[in-house]
Amino acid sequence: MFCLNALSKKLRPEVLFGQTSRNRATLENWAVLVDKENKVSRWRQLNDQVFEPLKKGEERRPAFVCHEKRDIWYSFKKLYIVSCFVRGLSVDDAVNQLNFVPAKGAKIVKDTILEAQEIAVRDHNVEFKSNLWVAESFPEHSYRMMGYRRHARGVMHPIKLGHVHYLVRLEEGPPPKHYYYHSRPRTPQELLDQWFEELRARKISNSL
Amino acid sequence: MAFRLLPFQPVLGHVHCSLRGILCASSVEYKQVREFVNNKHRDMKFRNLRRLKVDTKVPLKYMNKYERGVKEGYYQNIRNIKKLWREREIVASASNQVVDEFVPPENLGTAITEEIKKKWSDIGKFGKDKLAIRKIRQFEPEFNLKVFQPDALEIYIKAHECLASNDLDSLGDYVTEHARLTMLLNASKRTIHWKFLQSLESPKVVQVRLFKIDEAGSTFAQLTVRLLTQQMLAVYDRFGRLIYGSEILAKDVLEYAVFEKQLSDEYGTWRLHGKVIPNDRIRMAEHTFVASKEQPQESSAVMTETAPEEDKQAVIAK
């Protein structure tokens, strides 16, 4: 038995090719993410769904494109500020505004929007390329690498090199006046109801 | 982040602080450009040296699978080379062309003159068509044009039904590989509603051709068939918006469809290979689009206007 075990250890592919089993598991997982020909990210898979034909009297469905840029070495918080800045603007407006933002994230956002604009005209039956607006734009966390900073006397200090994805969705048509739900214009009836609710919800101290 | 308004600075990159004033004085245009000023690096000379302290190597964990395999010598082994270069067989089950394309008569309507009738009735009696049919009978002795003509219409209908229902597995039984590419080119992510209503005239074979691809002797036969049918077509976008046609309207369609068969193959079948479309009847684009620079459009209004203006200015200057 001992001999057999020793033989099997030598003949194992990990030993032959210099790979441990733990390494291989991580490699395969990573290959799934990297291999773009076979695997498309979940965000870009939204471009593949086909809707049913419109019925009579139904509203025209606006076209949309989802696009992204993956694995950028940039901080999440800095990109979040720029991505919020663009929301609810038309494409031409957004590109003009981003030219005056002195940040690395502005270039990332601008390039993805312009790429998405091209794809919309090419593949998704959008007639006029300036008739698009930024419906969604947000960053997402990617992997994090560890770098090292050298100090005096051989001291090494680890640095986290965070990577990030940027995701954007363009939609056909003119942009809405109020992008966020909380900034929508309210009717007098709604304001009245809101005021009554506030009154009823209040607490009178030292009461029953 | 601190922002400060600075005059226009023509030199890109990081410049020594003392040079800034000189450059600003020399530059003629004073544009207000917003620039980021970092307070950390007072002396830019040491910026690069500070960066060298930081080590940002890509760890092995994040390398590509094949990249790492080649680096560690995994793919030098002969057994594993097949994973990189995969060899596949080539089977010439269909040709890549329409040989000796049929030129349809100029009469685009449905009316057939007596001259054309004579030509079609005499098919198989003179010239290339006769030779081709004789050679086809060497492979299939029971071949008959009159029997084939109704079969061709069935193949035509089934091929289009497969395309409309997105049944790509059974599309290969009715369509060659050459036609499959052209059919599926613009069909992806679109819904097609297609209905065959009736055939107004019985289909007729117009031309018969026979040719070889290679010297080994794989022979192909191509028949062009005239089809006059009534169809309904409606094509929808990915978002369900109508692009072309309508559900209500029935149209009379005149087509010259090409059918192909590999005769040297025992199990070869007649399949739809292509359509003969004259250049006059190609549909123009319905949407606006940006023309490419290689194909400039005809003389535009701007080009004609600029020339006289220059002349006027020249006259005034004199």
Token pair recorded at residue B237: 């976008």
Q: Is B237 close to A60, i.e. CB distance below 8 A?
A: no
CA distance B98 to chain A (A): 29
Q: Residue A75's pLDDT is what?
A: 94
Share the mean pLDDT of chain B. 76
pLDDT-derived band at A192 (thresholds 50, 70, 90) equals very high
Which of B55, B58, B64 is the closest to A34 by Cβ?
B64
Q: Between A115 and A11, name the one with better pLDDT.
A: A115
Q: Is A17 close to B58, i.e. CB distance below 8 A?
A: no
Q: Between B114 and A14, name the one with better pLDDT.
A: B114
Which of B56, B238, B242 is the closest to A161 by Cβ?
B56
Q: Residue B312's pLDDT is what?
A: 46
Q: Residue B120's pLDDT is what?
A: 74
pLDDT digits (tens, 9 = 90+) for B168-226: 999 999 999 999 998 998 888 899 999 999 999 899 898 999 998 877 778 999 999 99
CA distance B26 to chain A (A): 25
Token pair recorded at residue A54: 């419109």
Q: Residue A178's pLDDT is what?
A: 92
Q: Residue B34's pLDDT is what?
A: 66
Q: Is B302 helix (H, G, I), strand (E, B) or coil?
A: helix
Answer yes or no: are the C-beta atoms of B232 and B194 closer than 8 Å: yes
What H or E segment, with its residue span, contains residue A32?
A: helix A21-34
Q: Is B189 close to A159, i.e. CB distance below 8 A?
A: no
Residue B160 region, left (φ>0) first, then alpha (ψ -120 to 50), else beta? Answer: alpha
Pairing of strands B242-245, B3-6: unpaired
Using CA atoms, how far apart are residues A121 and B288, in angstroms rounded to an integer? 11
CA distance B184 to chain A (A): 14
Q: Is B241 close to A54, i.e. CB distance below 8 A?
A: yes
The answer, yes or no, to whether residue B300 has pLDDT greater than 60, is no
Using CA atoms, how far apart are residues B148 and B44, in angstroms rounded to an integer? 85
Length of chain A: 208
The answer, yes or no, to whether residue B102 has pLDDT greater than 80, is yes
The answer, yes or no, to whether residue A189 has pLDDT greater than 80, is yes
Q: Is A31 close to B77, i.e. CB distance below 8 A?
A: no
CA distance B153 to chain A (A): 29
Site from A28, A51, A150 to mutate, B interface, most B CB atoms within 10 angstroms: A51
Please report, as a single letter, which amino acid is at residue A2.
F
Which of B57, B191, B237 is the closest to A125 by Cβ?
B237
Q: Residue B284's pLDDT is what?
A: 61
Q: Which chain B residue lies closest to A33 (C-alpha atoms)?
A: B64
Answer yes or no: are the C-beta atoms of B174 and B269 closer than 8 Å: no
Token pair recorded at residue B6: 């600075």
Q: What is the mean pLDDT of residues B88-106?
A: 82
Site from B75, B78, B185, B238 to mutate, A interface, most A CB atoms within 10 angstroms: B238
Q: Is A50 close to B65, i.e. CB distance below 8 A?
A: no
Q: What is the DSSP string of B173-210?
A: TTB-HHHHHHHHTTTTT-EEEEEEEEESS--EEEEEEE
Q: Is B77 close to A30, i.e. CB distance below 8 A?
A: no
Token pair recorded at residue A158: 């680890």
Q: What is the mean pLDDT of residues B146-150?
A: 92
Q: Is B59 close to A145, i.e. CB distance below 8 A?
A: yes
The answer, yes or no, to whether residue A166 has pLDDT greater than 90, is yes
Q: What is the mean pLDDT of residues B78-86?
A: 55
A62-201 belongs to CATH 3.40.50.300: no
Q: Is A102 close to B34, i.e. CB distance below 8 A?
A: yes
Answer yes or no: are the C-beta atoms of B260 and B220 closer than 8 Å: yes
pLDDT-derived band at B108 (thresholds 50, 70, 90) equals low
Q: Is A76 helix (H, G, I), strand (E, B) or coil?
A: helix
pLDDT digits (tens, 9 = 90+) for A18-52: 443 333 334 344 444 444 455 678 888 889 889 99
How is chain A split into domains, by residue range?
62-201
pLDDT digits (tens, 9 = 90+) for A73-120: 999 999 999 999 999 999 999 999 999 999 999 999 999 999 999 999
Percent pLDDT > 90 in chain B is 32
Q: Residue B55's pLDDT is what?
A: 74
Whose tokens are 């004579």? That residue is B118
pLDDT digits (tens, 9 = 90+) for A138-161: 999 988 888 888 889 988 888 888
CA distance A124 to chain B (A): 7
Burial of B226 (0-12, 13-18, 19+ CB in 10 A): buried
Which of B68, B73, B239 is the closest to A27 by Cβ?
B68
Q: Residue A21's pLDDT is what?
A: 39
Which of A53, A63, A148 is the closest to B236 by Cβ?
A53
